[in-house]
Amino acid sequence: MKELLETVRKDLKGRDLLTLHDFTVPQINFLLEEASRIKALQKAGIPHPYLQGKTLAMIFQKSSTRTRVSFEVAMFQLGGHALFLSPRDIQMGRGESVADTAKVLSRMVDGIMIRTYAQSEVEELAEHATVPVINGLTDLTHPCQILADLLTIKEHKGTLKGLKLAYVGDGNNIVHSLLYGCAKVGMHISVATPEGYEPKAEVVKLAQQDAQETGAQIAILTDPVQAVTDADVVVTDVWASMGQEAEQREREKAFAAYQVNRELCSQAKSDFIFLHCLPAHRGEEVTAEIIDGPHSVVWDEAENRLHAQKAVLATLL
């Protein structure tokens, strides 16, 4: 077993994290175990400076609370250093190509995290960089968030395989990464979205291919009650993500029947847990009664961004 873990660790060293689909089942399970181990060290007050002298460049085309703080604190506690780079701070925001930026940064830092709009921009950065590139979020995927989600579910449920996760809301980057993540760890996932807001067909297809290996079941539905029935985990996200603010009113009408509230959650198992990647809009996608209630684990989920990303950084860098 120890030899297998070392093999997985060596395979991950120097890798990019662009989507969870790119990782094998053992690799994702390894990252989750590593996150739990490093979290235990921190809780016990044991230093873990695995990245002493290492530097991470953090490119933010999109702002964030949890992504910036978790990556910056993670690098500090791992003994390294993080550089915050906004479009105002680097030439990529003034017309320098992604490829040139990747080549320059690779000569100076040990890894690059980017939070941006287009998945193609992350892929281009990874293509030309010679250091690991980590996807901190794109409009297509959010792999670091879902690693934290899986860690949180495992902590509260003791296992992942065979659980049912229900997602209600917009078929966005969170759903895409949940589809990949659940398929990899053997969790069943039911997604309920209004017509026209479904997850991308190509993502669903790839997740279904992964699910064949683990026995996970995937259902894409329009009925939120059907999705939530007998769920162990209920998840939602904002109806209008960053960059979609102009669609707010239109989306409020489309998603009116998709609010996660007490009535809907009564269809889930009595010990269900509720997750939300935050920020949340109480009274829209979720009621305060649910997100601030006894089933909510959103604060554990937010904290676990730190621990999951420590595992990613310590392993890839």
pLDDT band at 87 (very low <50, low <70, confident <90, very high): confident
pLDDT at 183 exceeding the cut of 70 = yes
pTM of the model: 0.96
Average pLDDT of the chain to the nearest whole number: 96
Mean predicted confidence (pLDDT) in 293-298: 98
How far apart CA 125 and CA 119 sit, in angstroms, is: 10
Catalytic site includes residue 182: no
Q: Is the peptide bond before 143 cis (omega within 30 degrees of 0)?
A: no
9 labelled ligand-binding: no
Q: Is 36 helix (H, G, I), strand (E, B) or coil?
A: helix
Backbone angles phi, psi at 168, to 5 degrees: -125, 120
pLDDT at 246 exceeding the cut of 80 = no
With beta carbons less than 8 A apart as the criterion, state whether 206 and 182 touch: no
115 labelled ligand-binding: yes
Q: Which of 27, 61, 145, 259 is catalytic?
A: 145
242 labelled ligand-binding: yes
pLDDT at 191 exceeding the cut of 90 = yes
pLDDT band at 249 (very low <50, low <70, confident <90, very high): confident
The pLDDT score that the predictor gives to residue 6 is 86
Catalytic site includes residue 265: no
Q: Work out the angle at residue 299's Cα, subtended by the Cα atoms of residues 294 and 303, and round it to the nearest 5 degrees.
A: 150
How far apart CA 315 and CA 301 sit, in angstroms, is: 21
Strands of the sheet containing 188-192, edge to edge, are: 218-221, 188-192, 164-168, 233-236, 273-276
262 labelled ligand-binding: no
More confident residue, 33 or 63: 33
pLDDT band at 170 (very low <50, low <70, confident <90, very high): very high
Q: Which of 21, 115, 251, 276 is catalytic?
A: 115
Residues near 75 by beta carbon (within 8 Å), at least 6 away in sequence: 51, 54, 55, 56, 81, 82, 313
pLDDT band at 93 (very low <50, low <70, confident <90, very high): low
63 labelled ligand-binding: no
Mean predicted confidence (pLDDT) in 166-191: 98
pLDDT band at 17 (very low <50, low <70, confident <90, very high): very high
Mean predicted confidence (pLDDT) in 275-304: 97
Q: Is the dihedral of CA 171, 177, 178, 179 positive or negative?
A: positive
Catalytic site includes residue 259: no
pLDDT band at 98 (very low <50, low <70, confident <90, very high): very high
Catalytic site includes residue 145: yes
pLDDT band at 49 (very low <50, low <70, confident <90, very high): very high
pLDDT band at 242 (very low <50, low <70, confident <90, very high): low
pLDDT at 245 exceeding the cut of 80 = no
pLDDT at 91 exceeding the cut of 90 = no
Catalytic site includes residue 305: yes
With beta carbons less than 8 A apart as the criterion, state whether 122 and 102 touch: no
The pLDDT score that the predictor gives to residue 95 is 81
Q: What is the pLDDT of residues 32-42, one digit of tens each?
A: 999 999 999 99
67 labelled ligand-binding: yes
The pLDDT score that the predictor gives to residue 243 is 67
Please report the domains of the chain, with CATH numbers, ordered by start residue: 1-141+305-316 (3.40.50.1370), 144-301 (3.40.50.1370)
Question: E-assigned strands of 149-256?
Answer: 164-168, 188-192, 218-221, 233-236
Catalytic site includes residue 119: no
173 labelled ligand-binding: yes
Q: Which of 61, 77, 110, 142 is catalytic?
A: 142
Q: Which of 16, 149, 170, 237 is catalytic?
A: 237
Q: What is the pLDDT of residues 121-163, one digit of tens each?
A: 999 999 999 999 999 999 999 999 999 999 999 999 999 999 9
